[in-house]
Structure 1
């Protein structure tokens, strides 16, 4: 791939990543405001904690008080904000690549922060799931209230990928050091 194509592709990926960040946060809120989106055959059937609450646990959003809906939006957004932070570092990495900064320490730092954010996303999802389930079923009759804990194989895969990203970030940091040494030597 010629360099100009790589630069343009990196610029496009930075824009796409920014749209993904905004889209996932807006879509999460929309799932709680417009319940039809979260129906079992709707767009949000498998989306984040909100999709789990709405489809798998059959939470009736229409029955929630306004403050429960607002709380659900906030609590379900916490893991997405951690993910958005990682995606923002990925966007900044693409921007560095668009400036042809392939072996910079800054690029390695951004990649490392992507890995840490994925770990934070998994951990915050694990913590927020029970909070969200209690909040969403708070006014349900006795026997129908939920306290849900979830850790799936997808979480293990995400943690493995985060570890791989962290190792690659360290390799990139070392490559950046070697590149700097070579430039100063020559």
Structure 2
């Protein structure tokens, strides 16, 4: 692939990444405002991570939430997604650097490292926000039907492994940028 095509592909990936950030936050809000979109038994399957786990099986109840409770659920479920969105934004900036031909820059390595860190923080915040969100969703239920849930899922372990891999690759890229910088000073 020639440099011009790679630059164009990187620009496109930057735009797609931005659309992904906006789309996941909008989809998260949409499944709380319109729970029929979620992947419950009669839903359309558009649930997203933490929201999907807590709407599953109670879409009819969620549809009856007062506005303040729905907005609170949107905020609580968006906290982990904002961390992921921050990481995706660094990925977008990395693609923008690649589009400018900055393959071995320390800034590119820094952006990649921040992607890995953000993915790890996303997993941690997802784990921490689930009990809060489950209490929030069931707070109006009668005593004995209120719920505090906590989940450790296989995708969380995969995401943590990928975050670690990204962090190692970022460190390698940073080292490569240092070597490239040293080589340029000799020439």
TM-score, normalised to structure 2, is 0.95
The Cα of 1:111 is off from its aligned counterpart by 0.1
The residue aligned with 2:108 is: 107
Distance 2:149 2:93 in 1: 36
Q: Distance in 1 between matches of 2:39 and 2:10?
A: 36
The CA distance in 2 between the partners of 1:142 and 1:63, in whole Å, is 19
Aligned twin of 1:133 = 134
Q: Distance in 1 between matches of 2:177 and 2:7?
A: 19
Q: Residue 5 of structure 2 aligns with which residue?
A: 5
- 5+ unaligned residues in a row in structure 1: which ranges? none
How many aligned residue pairs are there? Answer: 184
User: Which deviations, in whole Å up to 9, do the C-alpha atoms of 1:34-76 show, x marking residues without a partner?
Assistant: 121115231324x121111111x52521232221111000000
Unpaired segments of 5 or more residues in structure 2? Answer: none
Distance 1:82 1:71 in 2: 18
Q: Is the 8 A contact 2:34 2:63 kept in 1?
A: no
Deviates most, 160-169 or 59-68? 59-68
Are 2:33 and 2:63, in contact at CA under 8 Å, matched by a contact in 1? no
Hey, what's the Cα distance between the residues in 1 that align with 2:183 and 2:109? Answer: 18
1:42 corresponds in structure 2 to: 44
Q: Secondary structure at the residue paired with 1:101?
A: coil
Q: Which residue of 1 aligns with 2:31?
A: 31
Shift of residue 100, structure 1, vs aligned partner: 0.5
Q: Partner of 2:18 in structure 1?
A: 18
TM-score of the pair, normalised by structure 1: 0.96
CA distance in 2: counterparts of 1:138 and 1:121, whole angstroms: 25
Cα distance in 1 for residues equivalent to 2:109 and 2:116: 11
Distance 2:38 2:183 in 1: 55
Q: Deviations over 1:61-119 (max 9, x none)?
A: 12322211110000000000000000000000000000000000000000000000000
Q: How do 1:99-178 residues align onto structure 2 when only pairs under 5 Å count?
A: 99-178=100-179
Alpha-carbon spacing, 1:157–1:39, altered in 2? closer, same or farther (3 Å) = closer
Q: Secondary structure at the match of 1:43?
A: coil
Root-mean-square deviation (CA, aligned residues, Å) is 1.1
> What is the CA deviation profile of residues 107-159 of structure 1, one whole-angstrom value per residue up to 9, with x for unaligned ones?
00000000000000000000000000000000111221110001111101100
